[in-house]
Amino acid sequence: MSEASGVATSAAQRTESDRLVKHGRIRALLHRPEIGAFAGMAFILIFLAIVAGNVVYNPLGIKNNHGIISQLGIISIGACLLMIAGEFDLSIGSMIGFSGMCMALMLKWGLPFGLGEATPMAAFFITLALTLTIGWLIGTIVVRSGLSSFIVTLGFLFVLRGSTEVGFRTFNQGSTQISGLPDFKQTDWFAYLFGGDAFKWVFDLLFSFGWNVNRSGDQWVPGLDAKVGWWIIIALAAYFVLSRTKLGNWIYATGDNKEAARANGVPVNQVKIGLFMFTAFCATIFAASQVFDTNTADAAKGNLKELEAIAAAVVGGAILTGGFGTVVGVIFGAVIFGLVQNSVFYISWIDGSYYRVFLGSVLLVAAFTNENIRKRITGGI
Amino acid sequence: MTDKEPVIRVENLCKKFGPFTALNGVNLAIQAGEVHALLGDNGAGKSTLIKILSGVLQPTDGTIFVDGVPTNFRSPRDASAAGIGTVYQDLALSQLSSVTRNFFLGREITIGSGPFGVMKIKEMDRITHDEMQKIGIDISDPTQSVGTMSGGQRQTLAIARAIYFGARVLILDEPTSALGQKQQMEVLKTIRRVRGLGNIAIILITHNEIHSQLVADRYTFLSLGEVIGTGAKDELESRDIRRLMAGGADIADLAEELAKV
Record: contact B94-A266, CB cut-off 8 A: no
Residue of chain A with shortest Cα separation from B93: A260
pLDDT tens, residue order, chain B (261 aa): 455 788 999 999 999 998 898 899 899 999 998 999 998 888 888 888 988 998 888 999 999 999 989 998 888 888 888 899 888 777 778 888 899 999 999 889 999 888 899 999 999 999 999 998 888 788 878 888 888 888 888 888 999 998 999 889 999 988 888 788 888 888 898 899 899 888 899 999 988 878 888 889 998 988 888 888 888 887 777 767 777 776 666 666 767 778 887
Q: What is the mean pLDDT of residues A77-101?
A: 96
Average per-residue pLDDT for chain A: 88
Q: Is A180 inside any structural domain?
A: yes
Record: contact B92-A16, CB cut-off 8 A: no
What is the spatial distance between Cα A3 and Cα A8, in angstroms, rounded to a whole number? 10
What is the spatial distance between Cα B186 and Cα B136, in angstroms, rounded to a whole number? 9
Give the number of domains in chain A: 1
Provide the pLDDT for residue A274. Answer: 97
Q: What is the pLDDT of residues A318-341, one digit of tens each?
A: 988 888 999 999 999 999 999 888
Backbone dihedral angles phi then psi of residue B9, each to the nearest 5 degrees: -135, 135
**Please, are residues B27 and B227 in contact by the beta-carbon 8 Å criterion?**
yes
Provide the pLDDT for residue B225. Answer: 87
Dihedral of alpha carbons B79, B85, B88, B90, sign: positive
Q: Is A208 inside any structural domain?
A: yes
**Cα three-residue angle A97-A98-A100, rounded to 5 degrees:** 65
Q: pLDDT band at A22, cuts 50/70/90?
A: low
Provide the pLDDT for residue B209. Answer: 79
Residues 6+ apart with CB under 8 A from A237: none
Provide the pLDDT for residue B170. Answer: 92
What is the spatial distance between Cα B35 and Cα A54, in angstroms, rounded to a whole number? 76
CA nearest to A366, candidates A340, A332, A338, A342: A332
Provide residues of A within 8 Å CB-CB of chain B: 15-18, 20, 22, 241, 244-250, 252-253, 256-257, 259-261, 263-266, 323-324, 374, 377-381
Q: Is A336 inside any structural domain?
A: yes
Provide the pLDDT for residue A331. Answer: 95
Provide the pLDDT for residue A371. Answer: 83
Record: contact B116-A265, CB cut-off 8 A: no
Chain A residues whose CB is inside 8 A of the B116 CB are: 241, 245-247
Provide the pLDDT for residue A14. Answer: 54
Domains delineated in chain B: 8-93+162-260 (3.40.50.300)
CA nearest to A233, candidates A289, A313, A191: A289
Q: Is A44 inside any structural domain?
A: no
Provide the pLDDT for residue A6. Answer: 41
CA nearest to B147, candidates B159, B135, B157: B157
Helical pair A354-379 and A327-343, crossing angle rounded to 10 deg: 160
> Do β-strands B110-111 and B118-119 pair in parallel, antiparallel, or remain unpaired?
antiparallel
Chain A residues whose CB is inside 8 A of the B138 CB are: 15, 17
Q: Is A229 inside any structural domain?
A: yes
B147/A272: higher pLDDT: A272
Record: contact A256-B95, CB cut-off 8 A: yes
Q: What is the DSSP string of B57-116?
A: S--SEEEEEETTEEE---SHHHHHHTTEEEE-TTTT--TTSBHHHHHTTTS--EESSSTT
**Cα three-residue angle A368-A374-A379, rounded to 5 degrees:** 120
B187/A156: higher pLDDT: A156
Chain A interface, best mutation among B54, B93, B95, by max A CB count within 10 A: B95
Q: Which amino acid appears at position A158 of this protein?
A: F
Flag whether the ipTM exceeds 0.90. no
Residue of chain A with shortest Cα separation from B89: A260
Record: contact B97-A252, CB cut-off 8 A: yes
**Please, are residues A285 and A302 in contact by the beta-carbon 8 Å criterion?**
no
Record: contact A374-B145, CB cut-off 8 A: no
Q: What is the DSSP string of A63-89?
A: HHHHHHHHHHHHHHHHHHHHHHTT---
Q: Is A190 inside any structural domain?
A: yes
**Please, are residues B31 and B7 in contact by the beta-carbon 8 Å criterion?**
yes
Chain A residues whose CB is inside 8 A of the B94 CB are: 252-253, 256-257, 260-261, 323
Number of alpha helices (DSSP H) and beta strands (DSSP E) in chain B: 9, 12
Three-state secondary structure call for residue B170? strand
A376/A70: higher pLDDT: A70
B192: number of Cβ within 10 Å:
15
CA nearest to A369, candidates A23, A28, A33, A27: A33
- Comparing CB atoms, the residue among A256, A257, A381 nearest residue B150 is A381
Residue of chain B with shortest Cα separation from A274: B115
What residue numbers bound the domain in which A151 lies? 76-379
Record: contact A257-B145, CB cut-off 8 A: no
Q: Is A64 inside any structural domain?
A: no
CA nearest to B129, candidates B95, B148, B153, B151: B153
Q: pLDDT band at A80, cuts 50/70/90?
A: very high
Record: contact B116-A241, CB cut-off 8 A: yes
Q: pLDDT band at A57, cuts 50/70/90?
A: confident
- Comparing CB atoms, the residue among A247, A260, A374 nearest residue B115 is A247
Query: Phi-psi region for residue A147, left (φ > 0), alpha (ψ -120 to 50) or beta?
Result: beta
Residue A16 pLDDT > 70:
no
Q: Is A3 inside any structural domain?
A: no
Provide the pLDDT for residue A216. Answer: 80
Q: What is the pLDDT of residues A178-217, one digit of tens each?
A: 998 999 999 999 999 999 888 888 888 888 887 878 878 7
- Return the percentage of chain A with pLDDT > 90, whole number: 56
Q: What is the mean pLDDT of residues A310-314?
A: 93
Q: What is the mean pLDDT of residues A271-289?
A: 97
Instruction: Tell me which long-range contacts A236-243 makes (C-beta under 8 A, separation of at least 24).
Output: A238/A77, A238/A80, A238/A81, A238/A327, A239/A327, A239/A328, A241/B116, A242/A81, A242/A84, A242/A326, A242/A327, A243/A326, A243/A327
